[in-house]
Every structure is written in structure tokens, then in C-alpha cells.
Structure 1
Amino acid sequence: MLTFDEYSEKYPCIKMERQGGILQMTTHTRGDTIQWAYDDTNLYPGIYYHLGEAFHDISSDVENKVVIWTGAGDAFSGPRPSGANAPPRTARGWERPNWKGRHMQGSLLDIDVPIICAVNGPALKHADLIFLCDIVLAADHATFMDGHMLCNTVPGDGAHVVYPLLMGLTRARYFLLTSEVISAEQAKTDGLVNEVLPREKLMDRAWELAEQLAEKPPLVLRHARTLLAQELRRRMLDMQGYGLALEGLANMDDQPEPILQRDFPGVTQVKLRTELKE
């Protein structure tokens, strides 16, 4: 098991700090909004890999009492950057992102202390991870979407598990099939978000809640998280592998080509870092 000092500096796209047992992790790309690349490149760290490993390190550290997860820049998560690796189109090639997806979400659910997600702006990529956390706070300008269908990809990496459970089946099917963009207030109405706050008050509220929780006995915190996440774990175990298999199968079809880059609704709200030259 790594100590906090060892793993907190390990990941190029995750800034970690801890005070009084409360660990705050901020995902970023070069200090700005995270760009979702599969693998490390000279411009972008492979967040798919690093998040799963970071969640594992956090879950293994018994000194952590509460986790706060937020994003850098004007958005919680941006789309995949141009020049990022395309989804593989063979069975052998699909195995790596298949494993990464299961590891990323499984490791997040394996963190056995309460997790507060402070959504600092639009969540354009993998917003489903937000809703595996226990408490979700959103800035009032935040928006949420699932872009799988927008990009000609099956929403089978866990979105098909998370959204029907939290939103209800009929509402979730519409949300996923249309790549609907919903506001923070709508997300609260739909049961995805607990509180909507002005951006400048978001982190203060996250720390206020974290400090309240951190006063509880450690075993109470750990066993409460384990209990309250169990239904998500069970459903993910039952259905994620099947969903990833169908997503991969569709990606192997000659037509239509999965779309890496396109105009995401709401993306103009995000101050995205331009690609840097070496």
C-alpha cells in the first residue's frame, strides 16, 4: 500500500491534497479542464488509466476519511481531445478500453469512505462517474450529458446502469438515446444532484459537508459507504460487462464510424485549453 505522499504526486492529471483526513482530488489537463484521452500522449495524459489507479490508491489508504472530487477550469470534464486515440475496432484491441472502463468504475465504487463530487461546470464526458459518488453538488451553470449516441457509440460502459437506476427507466432512455443536455436544476429534479450552488460557494459547501462527515467514527463512515454503494456495485457487476461487449461489437462495424470529434451541445460554455506545441 502506498502512502499519501507516494501516490498524491503519482498522476499527471490529478492534483491531490489532504487535510484532517479529507482528501480533495482535482482532475485536470495541464491545470485546466480535463480532456478525456484513452492513453498517454505527448499532450494529454490517459485519464482512463490514471483515474482507475488513483481510485485504487485512495481506497487502499486507511488515513482517508472523506473524499472530495472536483474539476479544474470552467468545466468538470471536457470532450475527448483532437488527436486522441480512436476506439479500437478489433476484439483484441477492444480488450484494453474494456478493462480500463471496468477498472475505473469498479475502483471508484471500491472506495469505502464517503465521496462528495463538486461539479464545477459542464460535464461533457463520463458524467456517469459523478453519480457513483455519495453526495453530488453542482455549480449553477453546470450541465450534464451522455455523448455516446451523439458519437455513434452504444452507451454500454456503465451509463446504461447508472442513469436508469437514478432517473428511472423511461427518463433515462430518453436522456441516453437523444444525448440530451440537462441543467444543474433539471439534474436535481431528476434525482442526480443533491444541491445546486453558485460557483463561488461550491467548494466551501463541499468542505463543510466533508468536515461534518469526518467527525464520525471511521468504521461508521466506511461501513455506511459500503452499504449505500452496494446496489450500484451489484448492478454494475451484473450489467457492465454485457454493455461493454455490445459497445465494442458496434464499434467493430464498418459503418457508421465512431465519431471522435464533433460539436458537443454546451461545449462553447467550456474554456478548453488549445493543444500545445512541443
Structure 2
Amino acid sequence: MVKRTRFSEYANAYANYKFELTEDGILFMQCHTEGGSLVWDWKSHDDMADAFADVAGDREIKVLIHTGTGENYNADWGLLPNGEPPEEPVYQAMPGERGLWKLDEKAWYNRNLQFNVLDVDVPMISAVNGPCNIHSEIPLMGDIVLASEDAYFQDVSHFPRGQVPGDGQHIIWSFLCGHNRGRYLLLTGKKLGAHEAKEWGAVAEVLPKDKLLDRAWEIAHELAKRPPLVLRYTRQLFTQELKRAFLNEACHGVARETYAQRQFFPFGGGMEPLDRAWDAQPWAR
């Protein structure tokens, strides 16, 4: 998915991703919805994969800071700032060709999202500014992960909702924290607070919320002093084993999740994490 890009080509291309580029080559990538915390829906999900492809293809940047906006990193579920869902959720299995192609498209974006992040060839600083309860592998693939004191990590989008945690969660948590801790977090829906995440080895520093980005910029400016090829080749060095892990596990994990989703497919936004049993009737609330 990665091709040669330049900042001017993607700077204003995405409604949910704000980009700024400093004179010393630091790219600031901020997730948001209409200036507030990111609302996680199909568009923001799919566009994130494309946005990271653009970032990975930009050979003129030296460091990436990736963060969210406001209270959450990405803990809002398909609700607009006025509290209204962008579309009526459909709680049903999706039979036939329509369901097959829709699920395949989502699986395709899932895989590309993960690999496009890993294809970013400059040091990546993740500043997790609040709760992160879906696709936590994205910030955790950063080389330096900072978290605000009120941040936590959780996977509510898979096993607690009757789905297989196969789109990266099963890889990143075992890779960073060990297989037993990873399985426990994914099976129980545990909220892993920022300080405990640091103890587990997933987070490097925990900071007050109002100091988080200051620290990210401080580190980024220091890193940007190094020669460009040193920065690029160091990132490649650090991501090599993680790329192997994702190559080994991502495709079959996504396949298992996708196959099981034919039975339970929450299409659309506005769904609470634990609002119904997996076998409830369509439109059950």
C-alpha cells in the first residue's frame, strides 16, 4: 500500500487526521472528529490505514508523533459530538454475497492498517492521551509510548462482544507483555491502567495529561537532531521482529475473526461494548 508521498499531498486529505510538519522534520498526526475525541467508525477506521500509508511513503519526515484529541484516544463508539449515531446500527448476521464482501473489505483494511504502521520508517512516538479500548496495537507499535495518567488500554471490541480478538490484539499484547498476560487481558476485557501498563512493559512513561504532548515534543526534537538515515534504519531495526510477528499471525488471526463475524456482525456505530448477548435477535437492545 505504501508509495512515495509528500506532505502537501496528504496534509489536508483526511477528515479525522490532522497533520502538521515542523521545520526540523517532525510530523504531528492527531486523531479527531470535528475537533474532539476520535469517533471510531468505518470511515475513521479505513482512513487511518490510508493515512498511515501516506505517512510511511513520506521520505522527508524524520520523526512521527501520533496522538488523539481531548479526553479519549479512541474510546468513542460511533457517536457524533451531539450524541447521535452516524447511522442506525444493524445487529444481525450478514448472509450471502453482501456480507462476504463487506467482511472481506474490513479484513483488508485491518491488515493494511497494521502493516502500514509498521512501514513507517522513522521513529514513532505514541502519546496516548486517554482511554484506548479499540485497536490498541496502533499506538503500541510506536517506538516510544507515552500515556496520560487517565489513560487505560482495553479490548472491548472483540471477545467481550462475542468476537475473536484476531486483528492485531492477539499479537501485540503477547509480544510486549507475554502470552499469559495477553490472554488474560483479551479474555477478561480488563481495563489496564496507564501505570499498570508501564509495569507490564507496554508504556514507557506516564505523565499528567497537560504535560503529555510537551514530553512527546521534547523527545521528538531530540531525536530529530540525528542524521535522517540513522533514524530510518534504527526504526527498521526496531520493527523487524514485530513485522515477523505480524506476518506470522495477522492474516490467520483476521481470517478467524472474519469467519466468526459471519455469525455476529455489528455493522455501524453507536453500540455499547456489552449491550447484548451474541445470540440476541436482530435490533435487540
Normalised to the residue count of structure 2, the TM-score between the two structures is 0.85
Partner-residue secondary structure (3-state), 1:229: helix
Q: Check if 1:141 corresponds to 2:150.
A: yes
Q: Give the Cα–Cα distance (whole angstroms) in 1 for the partners of residues 101 and 51 of structure 2.
A: 26
Task: State how many pairs are aligned.
Answer: 256
Q: 1:91 is matched with which residue?
A: 100
Q: In the alignment, is the contact (CA less than 8 A) between 1:77 and 1:122 conserved in 2?
A: yes
CA RMSD of aligned residues (A): 1.9
Partner-residue secondary structure (3-state), 2:39: coil
Please list, as runs of the form range in 1=range in 2, the aligned pairs for 1:100-139 lying within 5 A after superposition: 100-139=109-148
Q: 2:257 is matched with which residue?
A: 247
Residues 257/66 of structure 1: CA separation in 2 closer, same or farther (3 Å cut): closer
Q: In the alignment, is the contact (CA less than 8 A) between 1:164 and 1:173 conserved in 2?
A: yes
Structure 1 residue runs of 4+, over 6 Å off? none
Report the alpha carbon displacement of residue 85 of structure 1 after superposing the two structures with TM: 6.3
Q: Of 188, 195, 212, which residue of structure 2 is paired with 1:202?
A: 212
Q: Give the Cα–Cα distance (whole angstroms) in 1 for the partners of residues 12 and 94 of structure 2.
A: 30
* CA deviation string 1:72-104 (max 9, x = no partner): 111111243143766856333211001000111
Report the alpha carbon displacement of residue 127 of structure 1 after superposing the two structures with TM: 1.3
Q: Of 30, 37, 48, which residue of structure 2 is paired with 1:33?
A: 37
Q: 1:71 is matched with which residue?
A: 68
Report the alpha carbon displacement of residue 248 of structure 1 after superposing the two structures with TM: 1.0
Q: Of 165, 179, 194, which residue of structure 1 is paired with 2:189?
A: 179
Q: In the alignment, is the contact (CA less than 8 A) between 1:140 and 1:196 conserved in 2?
A: yes
The unaligned stretches of length 5 or more in structure 2 are 79-84, 275-285
Q: In the alignment, is the contact (CA less than 8 A) between 1:35 and 1:77 conserved in 2?
A: yes
Q: Give the Cα–Cα distance (whole angstroms) in 1 for the partners of residues 143 and 88 of structure 2.
A: 31
Residues 34/71 of structure 1: CA separation in 2 closer, same or farther (3 Å cut): same
Q: In the alignment, is the contact (CA less than 8 A) between 2:94 and 2:265 conserved in 1?
A: no
Q: Check if 1:154 corresponds to 2:133.
A: no
Report the alpha carbon displacement of residue 191 of structure 1 after superposing the two structures with TM: 0.7
Give the AA of the match of 2:261: N
- The answer to which of 75-84 and 190-199 deviates more is 75-84
State, as a whole percentage, how many aligned pairs show the same letter: 39
Q: In the alignment, is the contact (CA less than 8 A) between 1:188 and 1:194 conserved in 2?
A: yes
Q: Give the Cα–Cα distance (whole angstroms) in 2 for the partners of residues 13 and 215 of structure 1.
A: 30
